[in-house]
Structure 1
Amino acid sequence: MPIEIKMPALSPTMEEGTLAKWLVKEGDEVKSGDIMAEIETDKATMEFEAVDEGRIAKIMVAEGTDGVKVGAVIALLEGEDEESAPQPAATKEGAPAAAPADADHGKPADAAVAREEKPATPAPAPAPAPAAAHQDGERVKASPLARRIAADKGVDLSGVTGSGPNGRIVKADVEKAQPGAAAPAATAAAAPAEAPAVAAAPKPAQVPDIPHETTKLSNMRKTIARRLTESKQQVPHIYLTVDVQLDKLLKLRGELNAGLEARGVKLSVNDLLIKALAVSLIQVPKCNVMFTPDQLVSFHRADISVAVSTPEGLITPVITEADSASLSSISTRMKDLAARARDKKLKPEEFTGGTASLSNMGMFGIKQFEAVINPPQGMILAIGAGDKRPWVMPDGSLGVASIMSATGSFDHRAIDGADGAQLMQAFKTLVENPLSMLA
């Protein structure tokens, strides 16, 4: 019997993917470990390896197909010990079609097919449950004929006004009613449960009659849109901003880069800010948390997700153990992760599981912004551009210093404002006295 090859879940958040390219064709022999296809997930394009040995009997999903659900059959593999006789035609989901009936029983194949299809055709049934009673629990008064006609027409009797004795619904009342009619009370009661579905599937915007072009949404862009919408709808954000003097950090960076030049390492300002955020989270553990419906998870190390812009959207590779890692290690790993993120070559474990995030738009000249939290994390730090500003010096004199604004977005379900303020204060202190985060 052919082995079903199913769409794999190549990342923790993957629900569907695009079968970007087949690297085998029908009739090819494959063995365990052979690369069979390239699959585009919500974050990256990944290779799919064969697990079993055999011959590709049939490819069920053509390359370039979008929206292939995880678990859907994408190909059939014929083992080496199987006969190469033609296999029964497969359904869209990969299940064999109904076999012809045994001629000895005198029942044609069509009858078997009809039996298979019969459950899929809903039989006429009595009026649906909501139609059997009013919202207050009182049974709807209707004649048997009226009930039968209502079931055939799909009319909700709870929304029909009866003209018979004592308000009894009769044939004429049902024939006047519109199919699907429902009582206002029942509609109002159903509205709260249906609201999320309506919000999740808004009507497409009307495109104005202006010269334009359209671009198909990638899986990555769809995932970004869904997760950011969920974050803003479900996570109560609180924003806290501090201005930070950068002069000492910039000086230390120059000195470190001079010493690391022989090793081919060049630290960026962002590398030092990753380190500062990680150490801050260890100093203020109440912010290094994750909120779940029934518990608060507190982490004992700081893994920082760093926002990286790619042609298809934002992705957040993770610098693990950033609180204890050296600056040279953070810098080397960050460059590698960013390069592979732009090529969509990250492994799932490289962009999932961070404890907090950092997003830096200073290179674009953005002075300040408020980032959206990346659930289930409890916070994200938004970094603005550093520029020369008037500044009160430690001795009280007015001078000019390199200043940047940093804004923390905190999940207020998990992190109180005072705890968020302590984190921002710790971050400011570390950046303005950078040697302390290296100790």
Structure 2
Amino acid sequence: MSEIKTLEIPKWGLSMEEGTIAQWLIQEGEQFSKGQEICEIETTKIVNVLEAPFDGLLRKIIAKDGDTLVVGGVIAICADPQVSDAEIEAYAQSLGGVPSATEHKAVDVVPEPTAVSQVESKVQAAPKQHSVEKVSQPVAQSGYSIPATLQGYQHSDEIIATPHALKLAAKHNVNLAQISGSGRESRISVHDIQTAVRTAGGSWPEVRHQASAKIAKSSADDSQVAATPVARRLAKQWGINLHDCRSSGTRGRICKEDVEAVYQRENAGQTQQALQQQEVETVKVTTIAMNGMRKAIASRLQAAKRNAPHFRLTIDLNVEAIQALRQQINSTVPQVKLSINDMLIKAAAAALIKVPQVNVQFDEENQQILQFEQADISVAVAIENGLITPIIKAANSKSLAQISYDMRDLATRAKTGKLAPDEFQGGSFSISNLGMLGIKQFDAIINPPQGAILALGAAEKRATVENDGIVIREIVTATLSCDHRVIDGALGAQFLSAFKQYVENPALILV
């Protein structure tokens, strides 16, 4: 007996629901070992590498470059050489009508997999009568014809393109310097490459998008399915069978977010139809589809506003002393280039250690507060598709130079989709700074499950009163948004008081 195994879209993080194949790193017919890099998968926030969970032979690629599948979706079939091509095709057909790559007909009925992830189906291996020659050209390559005028891929830092576009350009030898981008700052997308190639007389397959498929609802009794009380109540309210939900909660239980994901998926089409019906025919309206990252941001922040009772505290900070210290360090240590944001991150970390009750997450499912020993500060970074919050870990124990280096490194990799999941998921506190855009003051929405977020405005000259006289000082307005379930007003005020002390007496953050 030989095994047919599958490779699937993994679940990297609780909020991940789908992934797009960015690039296959091995081809059909290649042997691989456990831990080897198989392909690159693009999620709502990052491009990550899928490592092989077992040793095997890649027999058939199901999901080609650019295909988008839900978590658990089968992307490839693996089996020993003893398993015939006919059996592989039959198994591929059983997964949902995958087009056959050969003209052979299935000779055996292969049972459907019993679970989405880590399926191992046993089939009887047919004896080999002769060796089967593998096609050296992978299927993903068909349909691409690049005109000579656009050939000649060269890597250049001056070319701005999406990660997926860069990979495909390198793979198909496309000269991106000859292509005009339609994105922000002339960023080149896969669609821009497709348009340029076709205009020049070549061919480029259609850019694939995930089609919305109707999933059959389960009617089985779900009373014995492990789920949290909140999840079970919501499922009953929305008419959702718990068998249709993933279980991402503790101890394998279905949690509230799992039920919400099913509800949003089932009602997405109705919401879009309702919006379209509201359009006025005489008004030209451009419909812009929400990308995966924007959908994730919308879902998380909506949940934060709905579940976390926000209250806000505001304080003005005199930043002249911390600016003077920053300029002194930058002028005396040439290899260090501190920003005021780096300094404020360090001051916030010190304040979190002094008032540890603010350095928390709220475990809503188990109704408990998680208080952290180190200050892992998430810093909001704007990228092309939305917003991401890379984490400066243990900022309280790092030097200003290290915080500055880490911040530049994380921000750069965030904008190219190269962050690992643990570099932007978690954190005990968040900072959002819009001062570089001239914003004087704003309120930020809490980044769940954290308990608070600090919004920082621009540093500007303002008239202030000191000793009954008016003087001009450089001031920054800071607004702290707190989750009232875990942080009270007095506690938030203590944190801001400590933060103000460190900002206005910056020598304290150096010792």
Secondary structure of the residue that 2:395 maps to in structure 1?
coil
2:325 aligned with 1:325? no
Aligned to 1:408: 480
Whichever residue aligns with residue 203 of structure 1, its letter is: T
2:74 aligned with 1:73? yes
Equivalent position to 1:248, from 315, 321, 327: 321
Deviation at 1:86, TM superposition (A): 3.9
Distance 1:7 1:326 in 2: 39
Deviation at 1:412, TM superposition (A): 0.4
Distance 1:12 1:233 in 2: 19
Does the CA contact (< 8 Å) of 1:9 and 1:70 recur in 2? Answer: yes
Distance 2:313 2:475 in 1: 17
- CA offset digits 1:105-139 (Å, max 9, x no partner): xxxxxxxxxxxxxxx9999xxxxxxxxxxxxxxxx
Does the CA contact (< 8 Å) of 1:6 and 1:71 recur in 2? Answer: yes
Deviation at 1:296, TM superposition (A): 1.3
Provide closer, same or farther for how the CA distance between residues 191 and 358 of structure 1 changes in structure 2, counting only shifts above 3 A: closer
Whichever residue aligns with residue 194 of structure 1, its letter is: W
Aligned to 1:55: 57
Aligned to 2:344: 273
- Range that drifts further, 321-330 or 214-223: 214-223
Deviation at 1:378, TM superposition (A): 0.4
Does the CA contact (< 8 Å) of 1:40 and 1:219 recur in 2? Answer: no
Secondary structure of the residue that 2:499 maps to in structure 1?
helix
Provide closer, same or farther for how the CA distance between residues 312 and 190 of structure 1 changes in structure 2, counting only shifts above 3 A: closer
Secondary structure of the residue that 2:453 maps to in structure 1?
strand
2:22 aligned with 1:20? yes
2:78 aligned with 1:6? no
Equivalent position to 1:218, from 285, 291, 297: 291
CA-atom RMSD, angstroms?
3.1
Relative to the length of structure 2, the TM-score reads: 0.63
Aligned to 1:432: 504
Q: How many residues align?
A: 353
Aligned to 1:104: none
2:470 aligned with 1:398? yes
Equivalent position to 1:37, from 20, 34, 39: 39
Distance 1:389 1:218 in 2: 41
Q: How does 1:357-436 map to 2 (within 5 A)?
A: 357-393=430-466, 395-436=467-508
Aligned to 1:135: none
Distance 2:285 2:378 in 1: 36
Relative to the length of structure 1, the TM-score reads: 0.73
Does the CA contact (< 8 Å) of 1:359 and 1:381 recur in 2? Answer: yes
Provide closer, same or farther for how the CA distance between residues 191 and 70 of structure 1 changes in structure 2, counting only shifts above 3 A: closer
- CA offset digits 1:177-224 (Å, max 9, x no partner): xxxxxxxxxxxx999923974897572323444445444332211111
Secondary structure of the residue that 1:11 maps to in structure 2?
coil
Secondary structure of the residue that 2:314 maps to in structure 1?
strand
Provide closer, same or farther for how the CA distance between residues 208 and 274 of structure 1 changes in structure 2, counting only shifts above 3 A: farther
Does the CA contact (< 8 Å) of 2:87 and 2:107 recur in 1? Answer: no
- Range that drifts further, 296-305 or 211-220: 211-220
Deviation at 1:91, TM superposition (A): 4.6
2:194 aligned with 1:194? no
Secondary structure of the residue that 1:90 maps to in structure 2?
helix
Distance 2:475 2:343 in 1: 15
- Range that drifts further, 28-37 or 413-422: 28-37
Secondary structure of the residue that 1:374 maps to in structure 2?
coil
Whichever residue aligns with residue 476 of structure 2, its letter is: M
Does the CA contact (< 8 Å) of 2:87 and 2:108 recur in 1? Answer: no
- CA offset digits 1:374-409 (Å, max 9, x no partner): 00000000000111110123x442110101110000
Deviation at 1:304, TM superposition (A): 0.3
Q: How does 1:80-229 map to 2 (within 5 A)?
A: 80=81, 82=83, 86-87=87-88, 88-91=90-93, 93=95, 99=108, 193-194=237-238, 197=263, 201=268, 203-204=271-272, 205-206=275-276, 207-209=279-281, 210-229=283-302
Aligned to 1:288: 359
Provide closer, same or farther for how the CA distance between residues 259 and 2 of structure 1 changes in structure 2, counting only shifts above 3 A: same
Provide closer, same or farther for how the CA distance between residues 404 and 284 of structure 1 changes in structure 2, counting only shifts above 3 A: same
Deviation at 1:426, TM superposition (A): 1.1
Deviation at 1:45, TM superposition (A): 1.2
Deviation at 1:30, TM superposition (A): 3.4
Distance 1:60 1:244 in 2: 57
Does the CA contact (< 8 Å) of 2:86 and 2:107 recur in 1? Answer: no
Deviation at 1:72, TM superposition (A): 2.3
Secondary structure of the residue that 2:397 maps to in structure 1?
coil
Distance 1:245 1:18 in 2: 47
Distance 1:255 1:121 in 2: 65
Does the CA contact (< 8 Å) of 1:30 and 1:56 recur in 2? Answer: yes
Does the CA contact (< 8 Å) of 2:8 and 2:72 recur in 1? Answer: yes
Does the CA contact (< 8 Å) of 1:53 and 1:80 recur in 2? Answer: no
Equivalent position to 2:309, from 232, 236, 253: 236
Distance 2:400 2:412 in 1: 18
Q: Which runs of 5+ in 2 are unaligned?
A: 99-105, 111-215, 220-232, 240-259
